[in-house]
Structure formats: structure tokens, C-alpha cells
Amino acid sequence: MSEVAPMPGHEAQELQRAFDVFNQVSLALTQAYQGLQRRVESLTAELAVANGELRRQYEEKEALSERLSLLLDALPAGVVVLDSAACVSEANPAACEMFGAAIIGEFWPVVLEARLVATEAPGEWHFDERRLAVVESSLDSAGGRILLIHDVTAAHGLKAELERHQRLVAMGEMAATLAHQLRTPLATALLYSANLGQADLADAARIRFASKTTAQLQRLERLIQEVLLFARGESESIGCDTMSAEELLGDAAQTVQPLFMEKQVVFRVICSAARVIVTGSRKALAGALVNLLENALQACTVGGRVTLWASECGRQLRIGVRDTGSGIAPEVQLRVFDPFFTTRAQGTGLGLAIALGVVRAHGGTISVSSILGEGSDFMILLPIDTAAAQRH
């Protein structure tokens, strides 16, 4: 029997080193595999948690979708969903009841043109015997839109009825106020005219009574003229006159100058926009300024000051009437432009209301600012006629 020859020493060492390297690699692979197992177990747990969260979110969204679907079905307003091509992709039962189930897939502009008639109010339409309000909102970045359609027939009827009642109330208040305004001068005129019938009345007394009767009748005539002017409304106040600010202020100043001299109230005119041109009714605008100036004069005592001024502000002409009178209380400022509202026993309460109507008819605005004991400032803003200014 042959014997195995022993390996040389260096070959045994090489083999031992190979076994050592193999053992180290095997240990590293074992550790890596164990780490991978732990990572897989961790990811599996995380995935289970994530799946549970996703399942919970999905169930919540399903419940929300169901609630929204029930809400849309029960909603009395119509809901129409349009795609990016403006075709109806969805409609709730209320919208289908209004337009029919066949509306799905139709081109909305065609439906709008064929079945809805525009009203005087923006966003509201006539549909058969009903009145619909349509509110549109963007739905997504793809260009979709959602339309909310309300049947406002009943609400519009209630609004019209309310406006009718308000007009009747206003007419009743106006009639009562007008009757009160007419009764006082009429009763006074009747009293004076009755005295004229006395046989033994002296000529001087007869002349005095006749003069007072005439004054009261003139007051009645002025009141009736103001009521008629107010009743004609704002639309008849517009004219086609072209005038400069200097001419407009001059017309008003010429009218009231004697009144200021008689009451000994200082009156001055300051116009830094003399060449600014406005278009409208020269008579109506000057009359509005006269009303403001007379109102300022009534607020002043002897030695007071009233200033009529004008300046240019962008594309607008500012005209102001400033006085050093007693001022206007805040609660009165809220009503100074109301028809028939007055704080003076002899006032008609129509001067400022007429001025407001004239200014509005010319595309302008009027405002008041006042402090008790320090006077008042009325300011008018009127659009400037730039084309007429270039022609001048």
C-alpha cells in the first residue's frame, strides 16, 4: 500500500490562507443576508402600514364621494360640469330636470343660445317661465368648468314686490311731506287774502297784506317748480352745452352775488382750472351750484365766508363750496341729499336732492364733509371733456 506524500510547507500555508479568505467571505455573505432579511421584514411592515393608510384614505374618499353624490342629487340648484371643449360632461338631477337628461354631451354655448334669454341683470337668464342665475367657476387646469344654476324666480318676485312696496312708501312719505310743505304757505296766503276783503282796511295795510299774499304764492310756485324738476328725474338734466369751468362758476356767482351782499356774508371765487371744459346742461349745472351756494349762505351769519372753488384733478373737474357756518351733524349728513329732508322751517328739502340728480346725470359725484361749529364743504366731481378742450 502506497503512502501519501506530505505537502510542502509553502503549499499548506497557501491552502490555509485560501480557507481563511473563504471563511471571511462566507461570514460576510451570511451577515449581509441576515441584514437583507431584516430590511425585507422592515419594508414589509412599512408596506403593510402604508397599505392600511391608503386603504383608510380610499375608504374616506369613497365615503366623501358618496356624500357629495348624495348632496348633488339632493341639491335644488342645478350643477353642470363642462369639459375643456365646453361640452356638458355631467349634470345633477336638478339640472337634468331643468334641461332634460339629453343635455349630457351637448355643447353648452348652443344650449345657452337656444334655450336661455339674457335679462337686464348680468348672470341671470329667462328660461321658459322661470328666471335662472348662472354662476361659473374654473374646475381644473385642463380647462374644465362647473356651472351652478339657481332658480331665482321666487326671489326675484319677492325683490320686485319689496321694491314696489318701497316705492309706495316713498310716494306716501313724499305726498305727506309735500302736503305739509304746501299747507303752510297756502294757509298764510288765505289768511292775508281774507284780510283784503275788509271794507275798512287802510290802503297801507291792504298793500302790506297783498305783498305778503304774493310772497306766499311765490313760495308755493317755487316749491311746485322744484317738485316738478325733481319728478322729471336725472335724465332730463343732461344737455349738449360746452362750457369752461370759469364760465360755469361765473354763472353761479352772478346769480347769488346780490344775496351775499344783502346778508353781509363774504363771497369769493377761486378757479385754478379756468380753461377746463365740461359738457352738459349749462343751466342745470349752474342751478346745482346755486343750490349749494344758497345752502351755504343759509348756514352762515353776518361776517361769515363762503368760497366757490374749482381745480383740475386728473381727468376730472373738482368744484367745491366751502362755508364757515355752523356745520352739519353726522346723522344729518347722511340725509342731506334725501328729497324733502330739511332742517329749516322755510326749506323745501329739494335743493340738494336736485343738485345730486343733476351731477349724477352728468356722470359725476357729489359729497359733503362737515364739522359742527367749523363749517361745511360740498365737493362735486365732473368728467372733463378732453376732446372739446382740444377744439378750444
What residues contact residue 213 under an 8 Å CB cut-off, 6+ apart? Answer: 189, 192, 193, 196
**pLDDT at residue 22 tops 90:** no
Fold of 236-391: Heat Shock Protein 90 (3.30.565)
* DSSP helix/strand/coil, 320: strand
**pLDDT at residue 154 tops 80:** yes
pLDDT of residue 8: 64
pTM over 0.85: no
CB atoms within 10 A of CB 336: 20
Measured in degrees and rounded to the nearest 5, phi and psi for residue 388 equal -65, -35
CATH number attached to the domain at 170-232 = 1.10.287
* DSSP helix/strand/coil, 317: strand
In this predicted model, what pLDDT tens digit does every residue of 220-256 receive, in sequence order? Answer: 777 777 666 666 654 445 567 788 999 999 999 998 8
Burial of residue 29, with CB atoms counted within 10 A of its CB: 0-12 exposed, 13-18 middle, 19 or more buried: exposed
* Domain 74-151 homologous superfamily, CATH: PAS domain (3.30.450.20)
In this predicted model, what pLDDT tens digit does every residue of 332-376 receive, in sequence order? Answer: 888 888 877 777 666 667 778 888 888 888 888 999 999 888 899
d(CA 124, CA 174): 33
Q: Nearest Cα to 298, choosing from 321, 280, 275, 318?
A: 321
CB atoms within 10 A of CB 323: 26
**pLDDT at residue 71 tops 80:** no
pLDDT of residue 102: 84
pLDDT of residue 319: 94
Provide mean pLDDT across the span 175-201.
75
CB-CB contact of 126 with 116 (8 Å): yes
CB atoms within 10 A of CB 299: 21
Mean pLDDT of the chain: 82
Measured in degrees and rounded to the nearest 5, phi and psi for residue 318 equal -100, 125
Provide mean pLDDT across the span 124-140.
85
**pLDDT at residue 92 tops 80:** yes
In this predicted model, what pLDDT tens digit does every residue of 276-310 receive, in sequence order? Answer: 888 888 888 888 898 899 889 988 999 999 999 99
Confidence of residue 387 (pLDDT cuts 50, 70, 90): low
Half-sphere exposure of residue 266: CA atoms within 13 angstroms, side-chain side = 8
* Beta-bridge partners for 279: 242
State the span(s) of the chain assigned CATH 3.30.565.10: 236-391
